[in-house]
Structure 1
Amino acid sequence: MTTPVNDAERHAQKMAKKKAARDKIMATKEGEKGLIIVHTGAGKGKSSSGFGMILRCIAHEMPSAVVQFIKGAWSTGERTLIEANFGHLCQFYAMGEGFTWETQDKTRDIAAARKGWEKAKELIRDERNRMVLLDEINIALRYDYLDVAEVVAFLKDEKPAMTHVVLTGRNAKEELIEIADLVTEMTLIKHPFRSGIKGQKGVEF
């Protein structure tokens, strides 16, 4: 007479099989490379995810850098934290002057975007930086303040082999998505703004 398998044993057997399958997959993954990472979509969390990666680099004492293309006019918690405590590990450049509907000056927006891109190229070329976050660059690309072909060509031809570059912002261009190693689309399901709640410290900035 066989002993019935209880729920705990059944669960343990199921997890053991999953672990064996997972270990087999992981055994084939050995390579490392600098990744092109895109966070896009209408949902919240694109910049937050990018800054989470920057904080991981800081925790591992890996030099990194941030270029903000749009939110430079804002005082954000991430910027305050990094500049006050981790300036020796993370360079931070707030180059933008706000969203285009705030400046209402296309020439000024293009100039700010170009200045930000020149700084971004300098930081990416510096192989000491293991990660460079280009926050909201997708918005600058969306409005053609920057030439997507130029950005793609630079990332393909000049990015050091072990440097990670993270590009955030909704409406990422297809050309950028095509060359990326990792693309995440944030999907909007609910947002408090639609219920009359303004952006709040600790959540939006």
Structure 2
Amino acid sequence: MATSAYRAWVRAGRPWKKAGPIADLEKYAQRHGIAVLGTLGNTAHLTASFPEDHTPFSYTAWPKRLSGYVVTAIDLANSRGLGAAILRDARAGRLPWLKYLNTNGRHYNHSDRFRSSRPSNDHHVHVSIRTDHLTTDITDYDPLGLDMDLSDRVTLPEWVRENHPELDETISVRTALASGYGHARSAKDAVHGQVLPALAALAETVSAIRADLDALAETLRNPTD
């Protein structure tokens, strides 16, 4: 049964707007071809006896009651491991605006810093935000590392090219860095397409530093003057 809040909203002309972080997440998804599944809820959401964050009059708004008709939730396709990436950042304390996350059939809540979970019907990515962050700007939030420069490429170390001829001679910096964000669709992709090149580049850098340190140590042991 529709609530009095719903009826008041209808009388007001059905106004609504997206909270800042929700609008920013929507733009991020659209920019990278991730399907936006919804912000404002359908009739079932709007007329529910206990309306939640897909409505502009949510009964679960937290920690403050909504001021104005603002939608504080978004549903996104779980493309490229998006749900896992957001969960990773939430657990690391990087998302002060996040109230809860549903993804891969689990619910993660701010109440325990997203450490535990309980079952959820959502296998897509549902994000609900806190009402004390309605105007927070998260335009620089890049959970999948997709906004980095795609043109910057690095040459793979020689030993990688010799042992893995299936790899391109060069790899984008974005792809190398992506190994830390769980982009790979399979273990094979992770090893051959992302993790291996990233680790190889790191190993080469470490080797160069070690060689410089060895040379410095040799110079200190055998000064020429």
TM range (shorter): under 0.3
* TM-score computed with the length of structure 1 as normaliser: 0.22
Higher relative contact order (CA 8 A, sep 6+): 1
Comparing both structures, which one devotes a greater share of its residues to helix? Answer: 1
The structure whose Rg is larger is: 2
